[in-house]
């Protein structure tokens, strides 16, 4: 966990007050307007003043460009333009995958739910600086007046005969079990002298994301392809979320398969088209993003083409959004 000093919290409070005074309200992640208070913040990385480009404040959090911060802290990154995913290999050999608008992060092969999601602005992926520092195994502090943020790479602790797992866990303020888990270990007896232990534990590791099966993923992608393969990505994402919203809604079955095969909302499940469906890359991404928590239609559990589906039932629904040819409602 990042050893954050009180001035950091004071910095964000000051930033919130300034933002409210200047703009009347804090920008949401979708607004992305540069905040005057953020522009005043100086970033120092490993002792050197660093220019990271535009910074933003949203919901009281300071956002910074992920790839630029990663490079400053000794990490490498690669951008998948088609999938809108950034893969990072940090200085302590963790592998991190972040998606645009996706609250789930892939960390060393595991899936975890973050407090906030990254977003694209000007072709760059942004996320809260504090959470980013944790991912990159760095310490984050602020000066006394809250105008300078210092990021410092944290070197792994080296186990020795006089400095064991218990000593290290006390120094980092973590339990021995949490420290070992962070390092992929199960018992301190197996930790040999000379072993290097990662000290910084990202807070999201305490929040594993809900698991899904490959069968669920493929089935969700296939029905999305049949129903919205011709729609833009946003429409495909929305369609996938209708099914996931139904799984969560007590009025409908509680599995993806049962939602798709029950009732009359999805005729392709009963006429053979679903079996023949071959999802394209965009649909596969939409299904994956939806399963990872990206939702652009809130709690909508119905979709229909208003040019085709008419009548009292459809008109009685509360419309949430219209994307492409489909209207999404609840």
Each residue's pLDDT, cut to its tens digit, for the chain (330 residues) gives: 444 443 444 444 344 333 333 333 333 454 445 566 777 889 999 999 999 988 988 888 899 999 999 999 999 999 999 999 999 999 999 999 999 999 999 999 999 999 999 999 999 999 999 999 999 999 999 887 768 999 999 999 999 999 999 999 999 999 999 999 999 988 777 889 999 999 999 999 999 999 999 999 999 999 999 999 999 999 999 999 999 999 999 999 999 999 999 978 899 999 999 999 999 999 999 999 999 999 999 999 999 999 999 999 999 999 999 999 999 999
For the whole model, what pTM was predicted? 0.85
Cα–Cα dist 220/225, whole Å: 9
What CATH architecture does domain 214-329 belong to? Orthogonal Bundle (1.10)
Q: Which DSSP state fits 105?
A: E
Write down the pLDDT at residue 58.
Answer: 85
Q: Which DSSP state fits 232?
A: -
Cα–Cα dist 112/208, whole Å: 4
Write down the pLDDT at residue 39.
Answer: 79
Contact 25, 54 (CB under 8 A): no
Non-local CB neighbours of 304 within 8 Å, separated by 6+ positions: 314, 326, 327, 329
- φ, ψ of residue 81 to 5 degrees: the values are -65, -45
Kindly give the pairing relationship between strand 42-45 and strand 148-153: parallel
* 6-153 CATH fold: Copper Amine Oxidase; Chain A, domain 1 (3.30.457)
**What does the domain layout of the chain look like in residue ranges?**
6-153, 214-329
- What burial class does residue 328 get, using C-beta atoms within 10 Å of its C-beta: 0-12 exposed, 13-18 middle, 19+ buried? buried
- φ, ψ of residue 169 to 5 degrees: the values are -65, -35
Cα–Cα dist 215/258, whole Å: 13
């Amino acid at each position: 966990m990042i050893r954050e000093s009180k001035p950091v919290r004071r910095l964000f409070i000051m930033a919130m007050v300034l933002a409210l005074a200047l703009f009347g309200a804090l920008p949401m992640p979708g607004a992305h307007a540069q905040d005057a208070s953020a522009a005043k913040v100086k970033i120092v990385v490993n002792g050197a003043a660093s220019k990271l480009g535009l910074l933003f404040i949203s919901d009281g959090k300071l956002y910074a460009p992920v790839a630029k911060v990663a490079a400053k802290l000794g990490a490498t990154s690669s951008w998948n333009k088609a999938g809108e995913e950034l893969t990072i290999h940090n200085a302590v050999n963790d592998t991190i995958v972040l998606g645009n608008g996706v609250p789930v992060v892939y960390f060393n092969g595991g899936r975890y739910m973050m407090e906030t999601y990254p977003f694209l602005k000007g072709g760059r992926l942004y996320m809260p600086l504090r959470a980013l520092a944790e991912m990159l195994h760095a310490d984050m502090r602020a000066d006394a007046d809250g105008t300078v943020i210092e990021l410092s790479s944290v070197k792994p602790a080296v186990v020795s005969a006089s400095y064991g797992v218990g000593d290290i866990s006390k120094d980092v303020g973590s339990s021995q079990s949490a420290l070992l888990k962070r390092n992929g270990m199960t018992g301190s007896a197996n930790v040999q002298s000379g072993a290097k232990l990662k000290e910084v534990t990202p807070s999201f590791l305490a929040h594993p994301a809900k698991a899904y099966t490959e069968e669920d993923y493929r089935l969700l992608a296939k029905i999305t392809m049949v129903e919205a393969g011709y729609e833009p990505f946003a429409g495909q994402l929305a369609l996938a979320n209708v099914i996931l919203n139904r799984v969560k809604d007590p009025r409908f079955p509680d599995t993806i398969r049962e939602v798709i095969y029950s009732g009359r909302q999805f005729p392709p499940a009963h006429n053979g088209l679903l079996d023949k469906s071959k999802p394209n890359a965009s649909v596969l991404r939409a299904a994956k993003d939806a399963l990872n928590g990206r939702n652009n239609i809130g709690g909508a559990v119905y979709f229909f083409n208003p040019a085709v589906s008419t009548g009292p039932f459809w008109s009685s629904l509360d419309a949430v959004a219209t994307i492409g040819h489909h209207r999404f409602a609840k």
